[in-house]
Structure 1
Amino acid sequence: MEYDEFEGAPLDFEPAAQQVLLTALGAILSGRSARPAYDVDSRLLERERSSVFDLCPGDSVLVGEAVALGMALEFRQSPAPPDPVAAVRWVRDALGAEHGRRALRVARLIGHPEAPVWPQGSGPEPLLPGLVLLLAGVAATGAEPSG
């Protein structure tokens, strides 16, 4: 039997994190519920435990944040960048004022003029739900990523 040097090698977690985020975005948009944004961290940790990934235990949430940040920046740099005010307004109107506030907190990433300088004021509030909510607002208002 020939030895496969890559057999059992750890997998890159970034594609798995992207899939978890895209699934959450789809659930938010189809169900008009913010709950999937707050479940992303536990889903990332669950996915991390389901296989052998090339990351330290518990780092899946950090990778998820990096992927979400990258997605937001990709939208901002696209040929037709999102309307940041419309994206946050969609979150507020479709999902509720508190969720809109969380999206606004990170909306400077896509150029929202009223968003706080980021990451100022991040405090103990988790970053990932706000990023996911913002991305849902961007997707709901019709922005398309470059590429």
Structure 2
Amino acid sequence: MTWLPDDFTHPTLVPLPGGTHHLRPIRESDAALDYPAVMGSRERLWTLFGPAWGWPAPTLTYEADRADLLRHEKEIEAHQSFNYALFDTAETALLGCVYIDPPEKTGADAEISWWVVDDLVGTEPARTLDALVPRWIATDWPFARPRLIGRDLSWTDWLALPDA
């Protein structure tokens, strides 16, 4: 059994309500916007993702970030996992990411997590993204038991689950 149906087509553009931001699959060419977003919020992101993913390391270089984005781009093309970047309308700023992954732990058919840059924490765009992601996953993705890591289950509790 594969992770996604063979005929599934992933969304390529997801507007956020309000018309000032959108999600789209990340690409290697986004590194010039991704790297400063990640490193500018690195300490907070490490508290979220560090124990589980070892990311983002304090020594992350631009080239390593670019290589990581190329890996994500290839995984998206192959429907192995998905990384959607949050952009302003003109795509002059990358403001966060949404990850949609096959389950690493038992009890779910997908694992979803997301973040925004430090400057957006607690703002209307962040609240809009927080409201959108669960609804978007429920309506546009073929999952019966998605797990929202860091939302409906803490990262600590997720780490304690048995591997899939």
Same fold (TM over 0.5): no
Which protein is richer in strand relative to its size?
A: 2
TM-score after normalising by structure 1: 0.30
Higher relative contact order (CA 8 A, sep 6+): 1
Q: Which has the higher helix share?
A: 1
For the pair shown, the structure with the greater C-alpha radius of gyration is 1
Normalised TM-score (structure 2): 0.28
